[in-house]
Structure 1
Amino acid sequence: MKRLNIAVVGAGVAGLSIAILAKQRGFDVTVFEREAQISTIGAGVTLWPNACFVIKKMKVLESLAALGGQPKHLYQFDNSGDLKSRLDIGEVNDLSGFPTITILRRDLMKSLYVKLNELGGEVHFEKNISSKEVRTLQGEYDLVIGAEGRMSSVVRDTLFLGNALPRYQRFINIIGISPLKDAFFQDAIVDFRGNKERFGIVSVEEGRCYWAAAWCCEIDRERSKQSWYDEMKERFSAWCPVIPELIDKVDQDSLNRIFVHDMDPLPYWHKDNVLIIGDAAHAPLPTSGQGACQALEDAWHLVDILDQTDDLVNLEPILKRFYQTRFDKVTYAQNAGRAVANQIFFTEENKVSPAILPSKKQLSAIWMKGLL
Structure 2
Amino acid sequence: MTAGPALLVLEDGRTFRGESYGAQGETFGEAVFNTGMTGYQETLTDPSYHRQVVVMTAPHIGNTGINDEDSESSRIWVAGYVVRDPARVPSNWRSRRSLDDELIAQGVVGISGIDTRALTRHLRERGAMRVGISSIESDPAALLDRVRASAQMSGTELASEVSTGETYVVPAIGEPRFKVAALDLGIKSMTPHRMAERGIEVHVLPATTTFEELKAVGADGLFFSNGPGDPAATTGQIELLQAALAHGMPYFGICFGNQLFGRALGFGTYKLKYGHRGINQPVMDRTTGKVEVTAHNHGFAVDAPVDGPTQTPYGLASVSHVCLNDDVVEGLELRDDQGALKAFSVQYHPEAAAGPHDASYLFDRFVQLMSGLDDAPSSLLDHQEA
Structure 1 and Structure 2 fold alike (TM over 0.5): no
**Taking structure 1 as the reference length, what is the TM-score of the superposition?**
0.28
Larger relative strand fraction: 2
Structure with the greater relative contact order (CA < 8 A, sep ≥ 6): 1 or 2?
1
